[in-house]
Structure 1
């Protein structure tokens, strides 16, 4: 097996002659099917001859560094055209499978490279030890047809997915594009109406669309230096994975498309997200717990704009969230800033938000959120749901410019406890024309509730809230908009309050 691997490595690193290309691939396939060693020796000799007279037709970026002697296979050597019209699925999958064979025989990472071009594809299965190298000026383009995503259930619909893989990832400086606009039934500046592939009953409403990239039950996952754009549904989905790194990734969704999430981290532990740019219609960074707890997530140095929540825990929250850190994040003109929607009985603890700039504004009420810069809720999803709790949250060095105030709402058996605000500046002012005066409990709970005044901080069912060095200001041009309630709470449901260095008053803006 080691000898076979060596020959295949030599062959794919050196063969580029067009006239003998197809014959060599055919003979390699025959060898794998058990043909005599004579054919193998012929392939080897021909490979050696061609290597002496030809240079590589394409070389990937030298900035990509991989452990060991990494093999690189170009998808064009397997027949990919890259014209954006003809499907290259089979050629790409063959390259991935060949790379995986190399990994299993040598334990060395293998790279599948995409030269400049547009590669139309149906669903691809990424394998262990394989790194997709979508190089600069290359685009991996997801197909728009339901037959491009064969599966019994919609949870298996991805353009690229790795299941039970180890040492796997995506990089290269190019783009993976889901052609999200092809799934729009009706374009609408408020919220697009999307296609629904719900013939099997496996999903509901307009959520029956393919995700862009997924890693499921995988270990040692790396995604870096890549653009993920125009997903039809969720963009990057991390499911029950351990040891995942997402860095220097741009996620560009459609601002008017629902369920256009940026990064969904589900039941996964030891995840690091850093230096990412996320501009999308729905939740940008969204940890969830469906089948198990989520521990040790760190997100740093990111820029986010979204029509939903920039960072949101939930709303899927059947298990615990613990040990999460969000640092040096810029949130620009989003519908919500830092959010927790705990609806299913899971508990949240030991979460830090530090060095964060938040700008939140109103958008159409059809989107969840009413411009809350910080939004923490634990009301149960329905009458059969349990009440989870939230404890030990630290917000430190946070600057807020918002059209609405902070909303902290626990529930009778799901209290918010030990919430700390340190070194914060909150500025409340209006600049959009959307209606105000509503409190948003969605999903479930009470829905949208009319509220007479816009308060700086609203609290319900809180046990332990401390403030230190917090300044709250509201615009002096909006006195008719009821900016006159710095704090709103009922003493019967809110206890153990501590305020040190808290100030509030008018913001005198210069003209």
Structure 2
């Protein structure tokens, strides 16, 4: 797929030092704007700071809670106590039961007032709005004995960390329709520290649960809230359709919070993720569709996904990932207007023999890297399998991946595309790319078993595997060989 985006600024290869300095200056304003947006989203819109202390000493008067459904309840109507100590599971369950009876009238809204509402996991119901008021915090109880065990996901075969069942999510729903989780930037806090400690000490015998998980559901909106300190993946829509995630903040410690992915659309269709800030201990977003033979048999792809207007950070992992569990296939994904900062890998596709499936029709455009170790990664040997029953001959197909308007600074390796003889990467394109480097040696645009093309001049110089075209689409130079291997993991 060739992106038709054009730019009025065209660097020439013989002017690298001059245009590189111009680039860094030109993008300073854009980076500043993105930083301001990030700080507004994290601090300006959030009543509580990351440490729970108000950023401003003056508080505005509490805003009235809008009524979004014909019927509305307060959690206190069902005996809820927001002191951070009283267990409110029964109050949530009674409220959900009351809303379930209002479905014929258009459903109901549960208002969670300001306070700290400790609870064990609970389920949502059809036609429900969960509204978190300003200053409201739903706290997940730390004792795993209060978390129910659930069967493994059918497309995974096992719990992701242990064979057998898995813990459920703090807020859960299955086979639902018309679900809204929103508010005045209230918080859902999984209190994950206890989980992370037990995981690292290998005390747990079942896979940790997500913070919010909706399965086999349709017409889902999650907006204007903060999700933090998940025991495991933070927001996990599984085999859902028509999902909108907008204006949210997701936080977890950048170190010591294993597998706290931000958002993991998994075998989902028609998904929009936008206008959000994510800073976590694993991938900010990871698009998935099942694991090896179980994902192949389940056969539900992730498709028609738009990710836009995001600021993300992942010191130990990646900003936006596809895979590695992608055995049902991933297609028609657009990632645009993305700022990735202080992250190990910027955007990544990862898979392995045994996965099967495909990754195709993926477009990245208007992406900025700031202090990123490896900007663009495609990796085909991510060999982690549920059991020995996978078929090593089930080889994934990776094709039609485009990158346009890719910029940034402080990047060590801008591109590492690691195909193999068994899994060649096909039809990759680059256009309008200029990345300021922190590493001055050769082989910083790395390729292996990849075919594709470059349109116009880009910096740094592309690998020899790619054909070169000018801006008018005229062939300038054929690749030397598409099977050249120039991967250096020591860089």
TM-score, normalised via structure 1 length: 0.70
**Residue 101 (structure 1) shift:** 1.1
Q: 1:90 to 1:306 in 2, by over 3 A?
A: same
Q: Which whole-Å CA distance do the structure 2 matches of 1:488 and 1:130 have between them?
A: 52
- 1:458 alignment counterpart: 446
Q: Within the alignment, does 1:178 sit opposite 2:184 as a pair? A: no
- 1:351 alignment counterpart: 362
- 2:428 alignment counterpart: 419
For 1:405, what is the secondary structure of its paired residue? strand
Residues matched between the structures, number: 379
Q: Deviations over 1:324-350 (max 9, x none)?
A: 011101101101001000221221111
For 2:265, what is the secondary structure of its paired residue? strand
Pairwise CA RMSD: 2.3
- 1:498 alignment counterpart: 468
Q: Deviations over 1:295-316 (max 9, x none)?
A: 1000111100112110000010
- 1:159 alignment counterpart: 170
- 1:367 alignment counterpart: none
**Residue 87 (structure 1) shift:** 0.2
Q: Deviations over 1:41-98 (max 9, x none)?
A: xxxxxxxxxxxxxxxxxx99557563xx521111100000111101000011110111
Mapping for residues 25-40 of structure 1, pairs under 5 Å: none
Q: Is the 2:132–2:186 contact (alpha carbons within 8 Å) kept by the matching residues of 1?
A: yes
- 1:243 alignment counterpart: 242
For 1:158, what is the secondary structure of its paired residue? coil
Q: Deviations over 1:237-266 (max 9, x none)?
A: 010000000000000111111101000110
**Residue 414 (structure 1) shift:** 1.9
Q: Is the 1:345–1:380 contact (alpha carbons within 8 Å) kept by the matching residues of 2?
A: no
- 1:194 alignment counterpart: 200
Q: 1:233 to 1:77 in 2, by over 3 A?
A: same
Q: 1:231 to 1:390 in 2, by over 3 A?
A: same
Q: Which whole-Å CA distance do the structure 2 matches of 1:408 and 1:95 have between them?
A: 51
Q: Is the 2:75–2:111 contact (alpha carbons within 8 Å) kept by the matching residues of 1?
A: yes
For 2:225, what is the secondary structure of its paired residue? strand
Q: Which whole-Å CA distance do the structure 2 matches of 1:315 and 1:176 have between them?
A: 27
Q: Which whole-Å CA distance do the structure 2 matches of 1:299 and 1:65 have between them?
A: 29
**Residue 293 (structure 1) shift:** 0.8
Mapping for residues 49-448 of structure 1, pairs under 5 Å: 64=66, 66=68, 70-103=70-103, 105-106=104-105, 108-153=106-151, 154-172=165-183, 173-185=185-197, 194=200, 196=202, 198-199=204-205, 203=206, 208-256=207-255, 257-290=257-290, 291=298, 292-307=300-315, 308-343=317-352, 344-361=355-372, 371-379=373-381, 381=383, 384-385=391-392, 386-401=394-409, 402-429=411-438
Q: 1:360 to 1:467 in 2, by over 3 A?
A: farther
**Residue 379 (structure 1) shift:** 3.5
For 1:140, what is the secondary structure of its paired residue? strand
**Residue 160 (structure 1) shift:** 0.4
Q: Is the 2:65–2:133 contact (alpha carbons within 8 Å) kept by the matching residues of 1?
A: no
Q: 1:109 to 1:322 in 2, by over 3 A?
A: same
Q: Which whole-Å CA distance do the structure 1 matches of 2:322 and 2:401 have between them?
A: 13
Q: Which whole-Å CA distance do the structure 2 matches of 1:90 and 1:380 have between them?
A: 43
Higher RCO (C-alpha under 8 Å, 6+ residues apart): 2
Q: Which whole-Å CA distance do the structure 1 matches of 2:422 and 2:94 have between them?
A: 54
Q: Gaps spanning 5+ residues in structure 2: where?
A: 1-60, 152-164, 291-297, 385-389, 477-491
Q: Which whole-Å CA distance do the structure 2 matches of 1:166 and 1:396 have between them?
A: 37
Q: 1:335 to 1:457 in 2, by over 3 A?
A: same
Q: Deviations over 1:20-50 (max 9, x none)?
A: xxxxxxxxxxxxxxxxxxxxxxxxxxxxxxx
**Residue 136 (structure 1) shift:** 0.8
**Residue 195 (structure 1) shift:** 5.3
Which has more strand, going by share of residues? 1
For 1:209, what is the secondary structure of its paired residue? coil
Q: Is the 2:168–2:210 contact (alpha carbons within 8 Å) kept by the matching residues of 1?
A: yes
Q: Which whole-Å CA distance do the structure 1 matches of 2:174 and 2:469 have between them?
A: 50
Q: Deviations over 1:344-389 (max 9, x none)?
A: 122111111111111244xxxxxxxxx2100012337378432212
Point out the more displaced range, 135-144 or 371-380.
Answer: 371-380
For 2:456, what is the secondary structure of its paired residue? strand
Q: 1:126 to 1:156 in 2, by over 3 A?
A: farther
Q: Is the 1:197–1:209 contact (alpha carbons within 8 Å) kept by the matching residues of 2?
A: no
TM-score, normalised via structure 2 length: 0.73
For 2:326, what is the secondary structure of its paired residue? coil
